[in-house]
Amino acid sequence: MADSYYDPKDLRKFGKITEWSEELGTKFFDYYGKVFEAGALTAREKSLIALAVSHVVKCPYCIDAYTKDGLQKGITKEEMMEAVHVGAAIESGATLVHGVQMMNKYNKLSM
């Protein structure tokens, strides 16, 4: 057993989740594959969104996978970092906007 929670080699085994639930696993991968096909958005744009989201959900597997995917698509490191900042801005904005709730509550409870 690996002595840490994340092992980069586990990413290769992602497909195996289907083994314990064939139907749901297959449905997930079909859906996943479809989502990343070029549509109204290009495959390149989707890859950058995925990279930003990977950071927001803090998934090391996805970060590895979409950094590599970006390289394969010719995406530059500047573009990747900008995408990460977009994710970070939304994430911190989402935290900060709850400050309004805090302010409301504070004001309601205060004389």
Could you list the residues that contact other proteins (CB under 8 A)?
A: 12, 38, 42-44, 68, 71-74, 76-77
Query: Does residue 74 sit in helix, strand or coil?
Result: coil
Q: Which is nearer to other proteins, 19 or 23 (CB)?
A: 19
Q: Which is nearer to other proteins, 71 or 88 (CB)?
A: 71
Q: Which is nearer to other proteins, 12 or 27 (CB)?
A: 12
Query: Does residue 19 sit in helix, strand or coil?
Result: helix
Question: Token pair 């980069």 is at which residue?
Answer: 8
Q: Could you tell me the smallest distance in angstroms from the CB atom of residue 89 to other proteins?
A: 25
Q: Could you tell me the smallest distance in angstroms from the CB atom of residue 109 to other proteins?
A: 54
Q: Which is nearer to other proteins, 12 or 105 (CB)?
A: 12
Long-range CB pairs of 61-70, under 8 A, 24+ apart, other chains included: 61/6, 61/8, 61/10, 61/11, 61/14, 64/8, 64/11, 65/11
What is the distance between the alpha carbons of residues 111 and 50, in angstroms, rounded to a whole number?
Answer: 47
Q: Could you tell me the smallest distance in angstroms from the CB atom of residue 68 to other proteins?
A: 5
